[in-house]
Structure 1
Amino acid sequence: MTVDALFNHLWQDYIRRLCPSADKVHALLKEDDALINDHIALRTFNVGPLGIDSLAKHFIALGYKVSGDYVFEAKKLSAIHLEHSNALLPKVFISELRVELCSQQLQDIVAKLVAQVEAAKLDSADFLYGGRLWDLSYADFQTLAKESEYASWLAAHGYGANHFTVSVNQLDRFQEVVEVNQHLREAGFAINESGGEVKGSPEVLLEQSSTMADKVPVMFTDGEQIIPGGFYEFAQRYQMADGSYYQGFVAASADKIFESTHQ
């Protein structure tokens, strides 16, 4: 599979299953040139055979390299980001829940889910946009959500892009992230206000914002429910002393972006 094919599959799954409103956001921001996708984000559990490496290997096989790592103590997460030598290709942010730091009740539910995973399916990049690899009850979803929104989201949706990200740097009509936010508000979108509507600053070389997640139907073993799905992010990067643009992520900002999927 080529890089372009992989991201096309991820995008189609994202707008069909996780964030149907992304098409409208895309139309609201599109100019003459195709929108540049700054990065996508994927979630997983750090329990074998899952874990960051099981996702990252498929991007590494296509020329990506690990370029940064992050820890989110309060949310019990670890993360990396990968970059391609072709700077026009999206960065990939992959996080994992450190399950061993969570309650025994959460660990038991995750173990029940992971026990259903056919390890062979992880050998193909198809699983990155394939949704759940397990069955889940709504009761277990609710139990997870009380302790970790991240865990409940991942358990409910499985694998797919949690968000895509518009590069604000390329836009002509908007010079700042706050202007993008206002344009989307006027079109009826809710913006994630956790930690402020714009996370980061020119001083840390990155500003980010996001819509709140779409509400989407998910089928559980005990019936269908409407829960938060994916969201759309917006990122503006600033130049470093050497004139190049910062390509990493700011943990304090990413921590608040995670909350775009809160119920």
Structure 2
Amino acid sequence: MSQKVNDFFEKLWANYLEITPSAQKIHSVLGSGKDIINDHVAFRTFNLPNINLGILAAFFEEMGYQEKGQYTFDAKKLKAKHFEHPNKRLPKVFISELCLEQCSDKLNGIVKTLVSQMDSNVICDSSFLYSGTHWKVSYQDYLDLLNESEYAAWLAAFGFRANHFTVSVNDLEDYSTLAEVNGVLKENQFLLNTSGGEIKGSPEVMLEQSATLADMHEMVFSDQEKKIPGCFYEFAYRYPQKCGELYQGFVAASADKIFESTHSR
């Protein structure tokens, strides 16, 4: 099982690098050639019966992951869960879904037209989680979705893939704080998400997070090509709980701002 899980994450990582070349450069900067431990990987989806959060989660549960937390993001109309593996060296998994019943008829019409183009046979194994889009989307539809929900627009353009990976700052040999990591990233000309501050969270909530702004990616829409924000890289520093073990959950107020790493700029 462990080899199967490792193979999955290797393929997921390779797929992510196709959209996020800056992540490889950040590895070189922060890791100096050493392995970097991933804190968590995040995925986006719509709450439609054939592709909802539960469908995506089932692939991870098959790999031994267990549900550990639930989160709600009212302003963004999202729900999310996070999952952990008994092998703590494997990354946590954070899956969110857009609650379509809270969205406009226009958004629902576009999304359901896109998803209707999917062949149900593509959702047969974990490779679906890095399979990208299964539909044709126009730039105008992307803009219409963007007008209401950046989350929906990103998902329409990029489909099923890791939205971001996350460096475990606790496991970096050469850094002891997230502020140090951010400083080195800025020295190397990486742009950070400043929504809610460069560092989201605090020792009081036992989790600090920061993120790059998403790499710009040349997207081939059905009617034209445009550069749009793709995937990004996150950084997490976790504090010990009273029991001495590091806090493993997520903080909704911070995650809400991390979502904005893919906003247009």
Give the TM-score range, shorter chain.
over 0.9
Contact 1:192 1:211 in 2 (8 A): yes
Which ranges in structure 2 are unaligned for 5 or more consecutive residues? none
1:63 aligns with 2:79: no
What per-residue deviation string (whole Å, max 9, x for no partner) do you get for residues 70-97 of structure 1? 0000000000001000001000000000
- Give the match for residue 88 of structure 1: 89
Task: Please state whether the residue corresponding to 1:54 is helix, strand or coil.
Answer: helix
AA partner of residue 8 (structure 1)? E
4+ long deviations beyond 4 Å: none
Contact 2:84 2:91 in 1 (8 A): yes
Structure-2 separation of matches of 1:203 and 1:77: 25
Structure-1 separation of matches of 2:187 and 2:46: 37
Contact 2:27 2:33 in 1 (8 A): no
- Give the match for residue 236 of structure 1: 237
Structure-2 separation of matches of 1:241 and 1:32: 34
AA partner of residue 220 (structure 1)? F
The aligned runs of 1:110-189 (5 Å cut-off) are 110-189=111-190
Structure-2 separation of matches of 1:9 and 1:223: 29
- Give the match for residue 10 of structure 1: 12
Which ranges in structure 1 are unaligned for 5 or more consecutive residues? none
Structure-1 separation of matches of 2:89 and 2:174: 21
What per-residue deviation string (whole Å, max 9, x for no partner) do you get for residues 207-228 of structure 1? 0000000000111100211100
Q: CA deviation at 1:172?
A: 2.7
Structure-2 separation of matches of 1:31 and 1:251: 32
**RMSD of aligned residue pairs (Cα, Å):** 1.0
Q: CA deviation at 1:31?
A: 4.3
Structure-2 separation of matches of 1:52 and 1:103: 20
AA partner of residue 252 (structure 1)? A
1:260 aligns with 2:227: no
Contact 1:31 1:171 in 2 (8 A): no
AA partner of residue 180 (structure 2)? E
Structure-2 separation of matches of 1:86 and 1:142: 41
Q: CA deviation at 1:48?
A: 1.9
Task: Please state whether the residue corresponding to 2:101 is helix, strand or coil.
Answer: helix
1:217 aligns with 2:218: yes
- Give the match for residue 198 of structure 1: 199
Task: Please state whether the residue corresponding to 1:10 is helix, strand or coil.
Answer: helix
Task: Please state whether the residue corresponding to 1:82 is helix, strand or coil.
Answer: strand
Indicate the percent of aligned positions where both proteins have the same amino acid.
Answer: 53
Q: CA deviation at 1:237?
A: 0.5
The aligned runs of 1:68-79 (5 Å cut-off) are 68-79=69-80
